[in-house]
Chains A and B, each alone.
Chain A
């Protein structure tokens, strides 16, 4: 890999302040011919990518801003990565065969980054998407783009890749200009080629990559700035490019982390405590060791087995688990006691309402409490890792949203240097904020080192439900007052334990205090798709509905009366219009009701209207229709966005209606899909999704925010149907 030269363009850029123009966050720093360097990395590149030109780009410091959300308390564990010193990293490789390889530290776990980043590259290179190969999340080859979380791939990594690829295009133009003795500005790249004005003049990326003189001259040619294509000229971005490896998905050819196989590989299982906090007093490994071809190891609390089949490993684990003696688990909070516990342990106490005078003198006021349960991501692929040691070097294939963070975690816990660890993240089976940590990778690596063979470790569903982390539960206290005209005069809103994102109300309220306070979390908690935004939006939008009712006003009209002109107002009006709110609110049917809500975070705006029908026994209800409007700036990939928004609404139905972790005495009581019911096909209501394109606004990420509006819209619809307020997620009548 090329190293920056002192005083070149890059060193100036690295000192750029945070928050600098996003599209300028990555500048072309250097170009290099891999033959010019003799580092091991260069050999890795040549082996992986073949001969050609590498273009290095500064890895931006800006990632330091994107810490894993909610990774606190006993949380995520994984580090964000990418927050360290700025480095030069190879971003684009132009092969002698014309194939252009683009490298990113981002991962693909269903959110569509592979398609989006490929099309970003193709757009700037002016090549068909098929000519771009995207290498994702192989720590030996790719730059650290930070973890894949916080809806950051679109606003940060897309510009990074576009900049690198625009630089590559600039090189090709300069190359052609020099060859033909014309001003490069008069030339254009089309379909990966430049055609000169004189007859027979044609140059491609392959020519650029294989021309030795060009490579030499390019080492000196370092453009300080590159321009990325304005939205109006987009040809590939803004279109619905399909997932590049989609065919491998439908044929079963794609290898997920749990599908990776290595020669001589064993399948591992880990001994788990019977309850959180129970300590292993003794265990006898002999029953496992007596089994043919079974390996067993104990290293303190770490007890594991490995065998040539997962079945045999399971048998061996059962055999030794029977011999294990455990200390009793310490007393622990149960899900029944959860909300009292969180309130009682609110750090610094629950803040007092500073607007007590306002409450006392208000025409009307109200105080309510909302609860949000612990839920789990339960990605369909549980945590999985394959670890292989070779000559003291460790390679781990695993499903994680934070590849460089997991590399550091492995190095730390295995007590080896970062440079000896390579983490490869194949496109994996779902993250949703739940795979920020590397515990499975660490276990596989420990077991593999002890066994002296590659080890595949795939957590069982019960392990995933018990030993992964949870979306934090929360208690939210809200109090507000109205004047005689029915306008909000004060607002006091406190989120206990579930996070601060979007705790601030988007509504215009003269006196407003909104804050988040931590608490003593009884479960290991961490990130989740829009975790705190979901909790805060649920409580705020339900409470807004209650205030509208107190004021005797229509829920839509009440919200609009407190909402300045802007993007949130636009999506709310759009959802209401498409749903035909004005007419539906007038139509009264027994046990049927409609509700709405809206929310925003991270540059995305969402509003949902829902209709529910309550069963005659008033004990259960069904969501029969959801209309959602969503806006995240310029749409990069319309079909992918639609999948994300639709999927988020449906995934959001789970915690809205049913999902809730039950626990007592240090045990999870419902660790299976039989007992913890996630949405199924039969739960899909009539859906009406409206994506609003804003070419004038930079694209924001869309993987999270479309999930936040559906739950409060349902709770509010339930009130409209039967006059019952359910102030908790999941929203249940019995």
Chain B
């Protein structure tokens, strides 16, 4: 069974037809060719699939497509304005907060979602907020520093 899904992705209206139970991650990657969000585990344990749904981070690998109907989704591809990177992207780039980079999109999206809710997180709050995202290369200190740097600059606006 397919349903019609009208939603806004990175500021653009999109309409797709899909099984309602299909993961939002697949919808984004396969139908809209937005491959920035990644599959890492399919069990809400690694955060590589993170996207913002109505401004909040969700694990898109376990979010049914039906949940996106009429909603607003932001993926890593939607953060930069033209050539101008989002401050969180700048921070990750300047800190060199990645090695293989496979977790990076999810990390950045999660951090943006975190700062939306709490623009000035403490170190403990950063750890708590980012702890659901795995980096197997273990770039954690740099990731922490990138979020801290961006929060300190106080110019996070998704």
Contact = CB atoms under 8 A, between A and B. Distances in A.
| Physical interaction between A and B | yes
Interface of A: 109-112, 242-243, 246-247, 249-256, 258-259, 261, 267, 309-312, 377-382, 427-430, 432, 458, 460-461, 639, 643-644, 646-651, 672-674, 678-682, 684, 687
Given A460-B42, A673-B46, A678-B136, A687 B99 contact: no
B105 interface: yes
A250 B89 contact: yes
Interface in B32-72: 33-43, 45-46, 48
Contact of B26 (A311, A648, A682): A311
Contact of A309 (B26, B36, B137): B26
Interface string B121-153: 000000110110111111111111000000000
Interface in B83-107: 85, 89, 92-93, 96, 98-105
A242 B101 CA distance: 13
27 contacts: A110-B102, A243-B101, A247-B85, A249-B98, A250-B89, A250-B92, A250-B101, A251-B77, A311-B21, A378-B136, A380-B134, A381-B100, A381-B102, A382-B39, A428-B102, A461-B43, A639-B96, A644-B99, A648-B138, A649-B138, A651-B137, A673-B41, A678-B136, A679-B140, A680-B131, A681-B131, A681-B144
A250 B103 contact: no
Contact of A111 (B98, B99, B133): B99
A644 B139 CA distance: 9
Nearest to A379: B136
Most chain A CB neighbours (cut-off 10 Å) among B19, B93, B130: B93
Nearest to A461: B41
B93 to A, nearest CB: 5
B101 A254 contact: yes
Contacts of B43: 461, 672-674
Contacts of A651: 136-138
A382 B48 CA distance: 12
A309 B28 CA distance: 12
A690 B85 CA distance: 33
A380 B40 CA distance: 5
A310 B101 contact: no
Contacts of B144: 681, 684
Contacts of B140: 650, 679-681, 684
Contacts of A432: 136
A247 B104 CA distance: 11
B46 A428 contact: no
B141 A684 contact: yes
A112 B99 contact: yes
B120 interface: no
B76 interface: yes
Contacts of A110: 98-102, 137
B19 A674 contact: no
Contacts of A380: 38, 40, 46, 48, 100, 102-103, 134-136
A246 B21 CA distance: 35
Contact of B80 (A251, A458, A647): A251
Contact of A681 (B38, B75, B102, B143): B143
B141 A381 contact: no
A428 B35 contact: no
Nearest to A254: B101
A681 B108 CA distance: 14
B113 interface: no
Given A430-B137, A647-B138, 7 more contacts: A110-B102, A111-B99, A249-B98, A252-B37, A311-B26, A380-B40, A643-B137
B19 A311 contact: yes
Contact of B76 (A251, A461, A682): A251
B122 to A, nearest CB: 14
A573 to B, nearest CB: 25
Interface residues of B, number: 56
A100 to B, nearest CB: 24
A30 B74 CA distance: 52
Contacts of B48: 380
Contacts of A682: 127-128, 131
B39 A258 contact: yes
Most chain A CB neighbours (cut-off 10 Å) among B21, B46, B79, B138: B138
Contacts of A648: 138
Nearest to B65: A311
Contacts of B99: 110-112, 643-644, 647
Contact of A646 (B76, B100, B138): B138
A118 to B, nearest CB: 15
A429 B42 contact: no
Contacts of A310: 26, 30
Contact of A672 (B37, B41, B136): B41
Contacts of B138: 646-651, 679
Nearest to B34: A252
Contact of B108 (A250, A255, A647, A678): A250
A427 B104 CA distance: 14
A252 B102 contact: no
A637 to B, nearest CB: 11
B45 A643 contact: no
B39 A458 contact: yes
A679 to B, nearest CB: 6
Contact of B142 (A246, A261, A461, A643): A643
| 6 tightest A-B CB contacts, nearest first | A252-B36, A429-B102, A110-B100, A650-B138, A110-B99, A252-B76
A247 B100 contact: no
Most chain A CB neighbours (cut-off 10 Å) among B76, B105, B137, B142: B137
Given A252-B105, A258-B38, A461-B42, A243 B96 contact: yes
Contacts of A311: 19, 21-23, 26
A235 to B, nearest CB: 20
Contacts of B40: 380-382, 461, 673
A291 to B, nearest CB: 12
Contacts of A458: 39
Nearest to B31: A309
Most chain A CB neighbours (cut-off 10 Å) among B19, B35, B100: B100
Contacts of A649: 138
Contacts of A253: 36, 77
Given A647-B139, A673-B46, A250 B93 contact: yes
A463 to B, nearest CB: 11
A649 B40 CA distance: 22
A673 B43 CA distance: 8
Nearest to A384: B39
Contacts of A460: 42
A674 B103 CA distance: 17
B22 A309 contact: yes
Contacts of B23: 311
